[in-house]
Structures are given as structure tokens and as C-alpha cells.
Amino acid sequence: MSSDLRRDLICAALILAVTAVFWTRQDFSTPTDVIFPRFVLVVLAVLGLAIAGMAVVRASRNGAASDGEAPEAGAGAELPPQTPGMRQAPGGRSAAPAAAAAPGTSGAGTSLTERAAAEDAASDDGKGGDEAGEEPVGGPRGSRPRWALPAAAALLLAWAAAFGLFGITLSGVVAFVATAILIRRGPGTPRRLLIDVGVALVVALFCWAVFTRVLYVPLPVSVLLGI
Amino acid sequence: MFPGIEEAVLQVVSPATLLLCLAGVVAGMAVGATPGLSATVGLALLLPLTFTLDPARGLVLMGAFYSGAIYGGAFTAILVNSPGTPSSIATTFDGYPLTRKGRSEVAIIAVTTASVVGGLVGVVGLLLLGPAIADVVLAFGPQEYFWLGIFGLTMIAGLAAKSLVKGFAAGFVGLLISTIGIAPVGGDVRFTFGFTQMQAGVPLIVALIGFFTVPAMIDLMVDPGSRAAAMRREARRREPGLLLRTVRDVLSRPLNLIRSAVIGTFVGMLPGAGGNVANLIAYNEAKRASKTPGEFGKGKVDGVVAPEAANNAVVGGGLIPLLTLGIPGAPPDAVIFGVLLLHGLRPGAELFTTQGELTFTFIIALGVSALLLAPVGLIVGRGLQRAVVRTPTAYLVPGIALVTMIGAYAVRNNPLDVVIMVALGLVGYGLRHLGLPPAAVVLGVVLGPIIEAGLGQGLLTASGDAVPWLSFFTRPVSAGIIVLVLLALLWPLWGRWRRLRAARTTSAAGAAGPAADTEREGTK
């Protein structure tokens, strides 16, 4: 099963599951309140089925086409389709449309600043991303360890849950430092950790002071710190 | 024609009033740039201060604050993909891509120019056309609001770059989220899953931060190196003449500016619509009218100019029904309405005659505040932009997370909203990977209440008719909006058909070329 087909089927299954869950929770007494949510649910179900159906049809067509082309396709079949007007940059990256990137030429409706941006983007090609980065974060561009996504999701959820329980300062400082460590992929030196804690304290206390003392927005209070 | 306008001008140019305008703009920008604190919340916080001022100065301060807050929402939309106010939703579509390209300064200068022009167009509309076109507002009933919401939904066609079906699925997921809580017409409690805190539904600000900001934060946490080299280079680079070049560039396409500002003024007049809807419609129209619509969403300057010109024009437009009919066009106008009533002023046509000096002082001060956005915005906004660009990722991400969590909490002082925000963000991250655009989900959340309230109220008002549904098609203004809806739906299809036809013609010419050459050689 191709990744596109799998993705579309997961998408359709999720939409249909959400629709089914919401459908079973309908308990309305006013006729005017029924119409809109029910219409939305019916359309969502139809769209979910359409996504699944189109994915299957597309996959079967692609399968038939690749069966017919298999003998002569060879390694070239693995290459992604190239958009007309795009040039292939060194390293396989697709660069901006040549018309927009080339100095002195302009596509219809392309502004001066956008042309400058295109030139800037073109000058990025082949240079790598972090040659002058002042902070050693996360290794080279594209470094995505598998644990990073679940760790990021768990950290944000835990921070959100702790926000109401432990107050802005305690949860804020701990989660701030944890996020900085996650982004650096490690705690680093003790000095770095101390700096992180200091920055976290300053930011959390500044936010607390602005919201509670200037804007009069009451924030959750930590039972441990009292603020 | 304008009784009391000379005295009003003299009052506005007095140092004290100018200082109030400046203070209001700066304070408004600070509140607007804070996710979770909307212009309405800021104006409500400011309300007690106006008790100590005379009516004219109180209104001047409120007007300047309102302008600053709407403008300030663009900063976080551009720099961290978090719309400071719902009026800047569409600003994120091209603003954040511009930041990722290392062009955030260009974006800030462009939105400042657009905001000044939009604000001035709104004020001119209020001053010259206000009383005359206020009657148009009265022609808008529930049926028209329903169709206006449907018209907004057609924007999905523009947002769904890869799959129209998935785009509409995302939009309907947003509509489904908007149905959570107490129904706007009948009062039924729906889809709360046993949580009483959910009876008020999912707040728009919480959904906005969740769907836009949390996925951006996760991206940076998962792959910190994705903070492009262009962004870091921007932190060190100084481009001489960038300010003038960008301003000239924005002003070189006046049609986009004027069209967006007129949309903002008109939508602002419609009670309940406001900047939330105006910025989306203006973005969509800018994309539709552009010769390069494919560049929208990838960091196009026109994509930030259109929503910001529109949402700043809403400030003046929203005051048209307020000052002439006593109907607030947008929630912040309701707070200004309160100030008027507190000082014993009754909105209506006579406000322009019996209280001409005060009314025109307020209107002219709004124009001055719009002009002040330029110097203040360029100093404060570019300062903020440089601070964000220079902040290390390891501190920027947790800093954004902390501020957005406080912002989500501050909407209703409810810790559950913070959890909902993060949960929606994780859902948005997942949906994006499944090909469902989160922007379309947010569009559904924004437009859902407008469509549902219009539908329910329209059916109720026409319940005496033999077929109540027909009232949605037979009213003249409704019919006009239906035509716009059809045009909006057919436009992309027509464009696709033209592209297909052009591609077929090219391929047919390509295939015919070698055959013709062979034929020619054969005849020689």
C-alpha cells in the first residue's frame, strides 16, 4: 500500500469515526437546533467516504499505469514529478521558479520584495542551513529523532495540565527549562542549565507581573509558591 | 455639511489629544500583540480610565487603542504564527512563511503600510458615507448573514491547494467544532461529552492559538534546525532602503489595498461580522484577483497586505452603524457604545448635528491614530521583529508556549481551555500531515456561528411563510450574495479548466510539431 493511499484512508477513517461519535451524541429538543449540526455531520460523512473512494480509485489507476510502464520505467520511476517552470537545484532540492529567481526578470505580478526574497532563497541553495547559527540546536537541519514528536506532545500536554494545578510560575519555570532541554537534545553543561533556569524565572515572573498587576487578569496560583 | 468640524480639528491637534492618541495606539498594540487578549478585552480594561476623562478624550483614547490593538495582532501572526486577535487570522497565511524566508521585516513594513491605508479608508468611509450607507445595514437580515457565512466558506477553495475534498472536509470539521456548546437559537446543549465547562463551546481564540501556534511550536521542538538559515541571517543583516522600497512596493499595487479596505469598511458595517470575517474575505479576494494566486500561502506580500488593510478599515466601518443607528458593528464597538451611553450621548443621525464637535473629534482622532500606526509600528514593530528573530530557538519556543497558554487561560479564566488549546494543536498537527489544512478548520470555527445563527433565525422569522426555506432565496440582498457565492465557487473551476485547456493545446502542438516536420521533409 502506498503512503498516499494509507494517509488518505487514515484521514477518511478518522473523519468517519468523529462523525459517528458526534452522531451518537445528538440529543436535541429544538427543531432549529437539529438542522445545522445534522447537516454538517451528513456532509462530513459523505466527504469522508469521498476521500476514501477517491484514494482507492487513484491507487488502482496508478497501479494499472505502473504495471503498464514497469518494463521501461526503471529507476526514473522513483523520481518525483517536476513542476513545469521549476529547475532542479544541486542536491535534488527544487528551487524557486527560474523566472522569479533570476535577477532582472520578473514574472507577472511578482513584486520587488518578492523577487528579493526569491534571490535570497536562491542564495541559500547548497549552502546548508546552520553555517552561522549562534546556537547549537538540534544538530543539522532535518535531524528528527523518533522520540522528539511524542516527547514534544507529552511535554506540551503536561505543561497545559500543570498550568491549572501548580500555577503559572512553578509549571512555567519547570516546563520552560524542559522545553529548552528538549530543543537542545540534552541538558548541556551545569552552567547552561543554570542560565536556562534564570531565563525561565525572569520570563515567568515577567508574564505573571504583566498579567496580574497591569492587565488585572487573574492567573492560577501555585499552592507551593503562593504566586 | 459637518457642523463643529473646525473645533474638532483644533481639539485633535492639541498636544494633550495627540499624546492620548499615541498612548492609546502603543497600549493597544501591546494588547493586540498578546495572543488571547483581544481588542474587546483591552477596551473593557480601559473603560474605567475613561470615567476620569471628558467624553471627547475618553472616546479618542478608546479609538486609538482599538486601532492599535487591531494592528498589533499582526505582529505575532507574522513572527510566531499566532494571530494576536482573530482579525489577523489570514495574516498568518503569508506572514509566517515570509518570516521563515527571512523576510519578516518586509512583512512588518507591509502590514504597517496596509494598516495605515486601511484605517484611513475606514475613517473616510465613516466620515463621508456613514449616514448615507447605514441604511444598507438594515437590509441585512438573518438570511443575508447565512449567505455571507457561506460566501466566507468558499474561501476553502483557495486554501485547499492540493485537494478540494479534503479542504471542505477540514472546513466542516471546523463547523462541527463550532456546534459544540449551547445552540445560538434554541439553546440546546450539544456535544459537551459531559463536561459542563464545554457548554460555552470552544472559544475562537483558543482554537486559533491551538491550530496555528501549537503546530509551529511542535515543528520547532521536533526539528529545531528547521528555523531556516534565512531567518538567522536576517537577524544580522541590515538592508539599506528596505523601508522605502517595501512601502513603494505595497503602494505600487493600490487596487489590492483599496479593494481590501473597502471590503473591511463594508463588512465592518455588518453587525456581528467584524474583522474576523473581513480579513478572510479580503485575503480570498486578493488571491482570486492576483495574477499569481499560486504564490499565496508561500510568503507573498499581497497576502499580508489584504487582511491588514481590511481589518483596520473595520475600525471605521464598524462605527458607521454604531454612530448612526446605535448598532455596534463589532464587539469592540459595543464597548465604545457603552462609553457613549455613560457620557449621556445617544447614537443616531442627530449625534452628527447636536454633538458635531465631539463626534468629529472622535472620527478625526481615529484618522490621526491610523497615521500614528506608521511611526509607532515601524519602531515598536521592527523592534519586536528583531527581538524575535534574534532570540535563540531554545528560549523562543517555551516563551511563546508560556504566553499562549496564559492567553488561552485569560479568555475565560478556565484551565481547561489551556488543555483544549494544546489538544487542538496536536489535532491540527495531525490533520496537516493527513492533508487537511488547519486554516480551513479555523475558517469553519469562525463562520459556523454566523451560518447557524442566520439559518435558525431566518427559518424562525419566515415561519409564517408556506415554505420558510424559500426566504433564503427570494430576498434581493440574499440573491446578490448567492450570485457572489456561485462566482466564488465557479472561479477556481474556470481557472482550472483554462489551465487544462492550455496544457492540452501545448501538448497537442508538441505532438504535432515532429509530425509536421517529417511531413515537410517528405514534401521537399
What is the ipTM score, two decimals? Answer: 0.74
Q: Do B45 and A179 touch (CB under 8 A)?
A: no
Predicted confidence band at A125 (pLDDT cuts at 50, 70, 90)?
very low
User: A124 and B230: CB-CB below 8 Å?
Assistant: yes
Closest partner residue to B229 among A111, A116, A124, by Cβ? A124
Question: Residue A217's pLDDT is what?
Answer: 79
Contact B169 A15 (CB under 8 A): yes
How confident is the model at residue B466, as a pLDDT?
84
Is pLDDT of A79 > 50?
Answer: no
Q: What is the mean pLDDT of chain B?
A: 84
pLDDT exceeds cutoff 50 at A75: no
- Interface check for A56 against chain B (CB to CB < 8 A): the answer is no
The string of pLDDT tens digits covering residues B269-320 is 877 667 778 898 899 889 888 888 888 888 899 999 999 999 999 988 888 8
Smallest CA–CA distance, residue A74 to chain B, in Å, is 24
Q: For residue B231, name the pLDDT band (cuts at 50, 70, 90).
A: low
User: Which set of grid coordinates corresponds to residue A30?
Assistant: 429544538
Does A98 have pLDDT greater than 60? no
d(CA B456, CA B440): 23
Alpha carbons B370 and B384: distance in angstroms, whole number: 20
pLDDT above 60 for B237:
yes
A196 CB near a chain B CB, below 8 Å?
Answer: yes
CA of A69, closest CA in chain B: separation in Å?
Answer: 20
Residues 36-55 of chain A with CB under 8 A from chain B are 36-37, 40-41, 43-44, 47-48, 50-51, 54
Task: Give the three-class secondary structure for A181.
Answer: helix
So what's the pLDDT on residue B40?
79
Tell me what pLDDT residue A18 has.
93
CB contact under 8 A, B392 and A37: no
* Min distance B16 CA to chain A CA atoms (Å): 23
Residue B132 C-alpha, separation from nearest chain A C-alpha, in angstroms? 36
**Is B230 within 8 Å of A121 when comparing Cβ atoms?**
yes
In this structure, of A31-40, A66-75, B288-297, the range with the lowest mean pLDDT score is A66-75
What's the pLDDT tens digit per position in A14-30? Answer: 999 999 999 988 877 78
* B136/B152 Cα distance (integer angstroms): 20
Report domain extents, chain A. 3-66, 148-214
Asked if the C-beta of A216 comes within 8 angstroms of chain B's C-beta atoms, the answer is yes
pLDDT at residue B229, rounded to an integer: 60
Please report, rounded to a whole number, the percentage of residues in chain B having pLDDT higher than 90: 24
**Cβ-defined contact of A22 to B98 (cutoff 8 Å):** no
> In this structure, are residues B226 and B97 in contact, taking their beta carbons and an 8 Å threshold?
no
Cβ proximity of B93 and B283 under 8 Å: yes
Do B48 and B88 form a contact (C-beta atoms < 8 A)? no
Specify the higher pLDDT residue, A98 or B199. Answer: B199
A189 contacts chain B (CB < 8 A): no
* pLDDT tens profile B332-366: 888 888 888 877 777 776 777 777 788 889 989 99
Nearest to B415 among A41, A51, A164 (CB): A164
CB contact under 8 A, A111 and B228: no
Residue B21 grid cell: 492618541
Residue B8 Cα, gap to closest chain A Cα (Å): 32
Report CB contact under 8 Å: B295, A114.
yes
Write down the pLDDT at residue B5. Answer: 78
What is the rounded average pLDDT of the residues A46-66? 87
Contact A164 B397 (CB under 8 A): no
Worst-scoring range by mean pLDDT, B255-264, B460-469, B484-493?
B484-493
∠ CA A164-B220-A117, nearest 5°, is 135
Contact B185 A32 (CB under 8 A): yes
Lowest-confidence range among A33-47, A124-138, B58-72? A124-138
B416 and A164: CB-CB below 8 Å?
A: yes
Give the model's confidence band at A111: pLDDT under 50 very low, under 70 low, under 90 confident, else very high: low
Q: At what angle do helices A148-184 and A190-209 cross, to 10 degrees?
A: 100
Contact yes or no for A153 and B426 at CB 8 A: yes
Rounded to the nearest 5°, which phi and psi values hold at A94?
Answer: -85, 125
User: A124: which chain B residues are within 8 Å (Cβ-Cβ)?
Assistant: 228-230
A25 vs B contacts (CB less than 8 Å): 190-191, 193
Q: Which of B166, B245, B402 sits opposite A176 (nearest CB)?
A: B402
Taking contacts as CB-CB distances below 8 angstroms, the residues of chain A near B456 are: 32-33, 35-36
Residue type, B366: L
Give B519→chain A minimum CA distance, Å.
29
Q: Do B245 and A111 touch (CB under 8 A)?
A: no
Closest partner CB to B169 (pick from A48, A120, A168): A48
What is the rounded distance in angstroms from the CA atom of residue A180 to the CA atom of residue B394? Answer: 5
H or E, element range at A35: helix A31-73
pLDDT tens by residue, B37-66: 778 778 877 877 777 788 888 889 999 999
Nearest to A35 among B165, B292, B455 (CB): B455
The predicted pLDDT at position A154 comes to 95
- B80 is written with which cell numbers? 510566531
Q: Is the minimum CB–CB distance between A117 and chain B shorter than 8 Å?
A: yes
Report the alpha-carbon angle B186-B187-B188, nearest 5.
95
Task: State the best of A7, A11, A56, A143 to mutate against chain B, taking most chain B CBs within 10 Å.
Answer: A11
Mind listing the pLDDT tens digit for each residue in A138-191? 444 455 688 889 999 999 999 999 988 888 888 999 999 999 999 988 888 889
Least Cα separation, residue A203 to chain B (angstroms)? 7
Q: Partners of B189 in the beta sheet?
A: B182
- Predicted pLDDT of residue B447: 86
- Name the CA dihedral angle for B26, B29, B30, B35, rounded to a multiple of 10 degrees: 170
Outline where B179-300 has alpha helix (H).
204-208, 214-222, 229-236, 242-251, 254-269, 274-289
DSSP annotation string for A193-207: HHHHHHHHHHHHHHH
Confidence of residue B371 (pLDDT cuts 50, 70, 90): very high
Beta-bridged to residue A94, according to DSSP, are A88
